[in-house]
Structure 1
């Protein structure tokens, strides 16, 4: 999903995949957090979206982990605006703080402690895996919702097939 958003919106991304020597969502002392710290210092991001896949048996399509509202700092419209875009794209089964992102040394906790409004997005695997036409459509809806949210904040420069901004 992060790569798709980068391709669509020309945003900066950093990601890890399994297996990773140290889980950056549990520990601060690892290469991922060191690189994230450098990015935060160098480019001073306006926000951080920490994207995860969640098991399909969870009772939501997406959960927004906000450390019980603390991770978004003073941005009171962050979560309502994101939820509005999810609803607009058909993601109606949403929750906030099912996984609050406040336990362990989460990426959301790390970035918000450095002054970057952050949210942990836990997407149901039913929204992430495109193994059928219906699943591909749900994935496209999910990407579109996040891209529209970023666009509403002036953070998504849509890229056409030739690599030019629209």
Structure 2
């Protein structure tokens, strides 16, 4: 006999009481720091990253019992929430830059983070998912809702742009 209710290949059915709320809490504890880091790398703002991670978990919780891969769902949700945040920040930053305000960069690592932050969202997301999350092109394409060829193109353009900016 086989089925999801069997434990460790047991030949007789074993009753396993799985509390979905507790299972979600365990998942949250295991993954919350990963979710915050992913959001932070995408938006470069610790407070916003924390909010985005928690929003992602709130959205995940509603669907958690029905999902085969909750981490993949959470990753896509966080990427989408970061995209929305980046768009609103770009609008806000455009208004701020028009007033002559700008950030001061004092260290090379901060300069690189600033350059990455200025990339178009999809290019930035591809770099983060490839180098931070170590995802394959197919997984990145699935997360972003595009084709693997688009992922390659976005990565090449992003790296080319960073090279040009760093050489200046």
How high is the TM-score relative to the length of structure 1? 0.32
Counting helix residues as a fraction of each chain, which structure ranks higher? 2
The normalised TM-score by structure 2 is: 0.32
Structure with the higher fraction of residues in strand conformation? 1
Higher relative contact order structure (alpha carbons within 8 Å, sequence separation ≥ 6): 1
Choose 1 or 2 for highest CA Rg: 2
